Structure 1
């Protein structure tokens, strides 16, 4: 390499022994954010599985149990207020929607094998926007805005 080209090329930083305070300033690309949120949403759905089973059981057992199921969204469950039940349901809605959309994105990328960096970035942004928009729409229905 000549002196002229080495002077114009920018030296890349070398990171060794990265400390936690240095990680905080790091910006993940949208694909990295979607990947991490995909794992978080899967974990959220796993931990809220008993709540889902309870909702399913109470909604299908009988008319009386269905009434108690719907009253949980109006009056709460025991010491848990109704807004918290709705918030847990909203978290479950987001978890399912994001996990499903991000899963379809991953399956599409695996099936086509022709994903560029730009396509990955755009599909990650579409995944984030679509999952959040559908969550807001269903959350508005859940909280009685329409």
Structure 2
């Protein structure tokens, strides 16, 4: 079996990314709580947090966290709509909604980039 010839359907990619973004958000909680704690500790702490947020790397990480949050949220809404019976649980509908989820996430990711930068 040649592993390079395996092609996952878009529904499998959407499912895997939903799990990955969940892990990313779990890790991000620590980063966000650290920055929040620093900013609330004192006036000097707030200035330190503001200085940290001026770094390109930190802005990129924040953009990544917001993008993961956006994808996980949109994917979660997609799953709930299917679970509650508002969307058919067919492969065609799964494929369509996975593509729509990706499209909405791209738009939200661009908006997050504007927000961060």
Question: Same fold by TM (over 0.5)?
Answer: yes
| Structure 2: runs of 5 or more not aligned | none
Higher Rg: 1
Q: Does 1:100 align with 2:80?
A: no
Q: C-alpha displacement at 1:62, in angstroms?
A: 4.0
Q: Paired residues, what number?
A: 116
Q: Which stretches in structure 1 are left out of the alignment for 5+ residues? A: 1-18, 75-81
Off by >3 Å, runs of 4+ in structure 1: 59-64
Match of 1:142 in 2: 116
In proportion to residue count, which structure has more helix? 2
TM-score by length of 2: 0.86
Q: SS at 1:35's partner residue? A: helix
Counterpart residue number, 1:111: 84
Q: Secondary structure at the match of 2:6?
A: coil
Do residues 49 (structure 1) and 23 (structure 2) align?
no
Report the equivalent of 2:57.
84
TM-score of the superposed pair, with normalisation by structure 1 = 0.71
Q: RMSD of the alignment, in Å?
A: 1.8
Deviations 1:3-58 (CA, angstroms, capped at 9, x unpaired): xxxxxxxxxxxxxxxx4xx2322222221111010111111112222101112223
Q: Is the 8 A contact 2:67 2:112 kept in 1?
A: no
Between the aligned partners of 1:25 and 1:63, the Cα distance in structure 2 is 56
> How many angstroms apart in 2 are the aligned matches of 1:65 and 1:139?
25
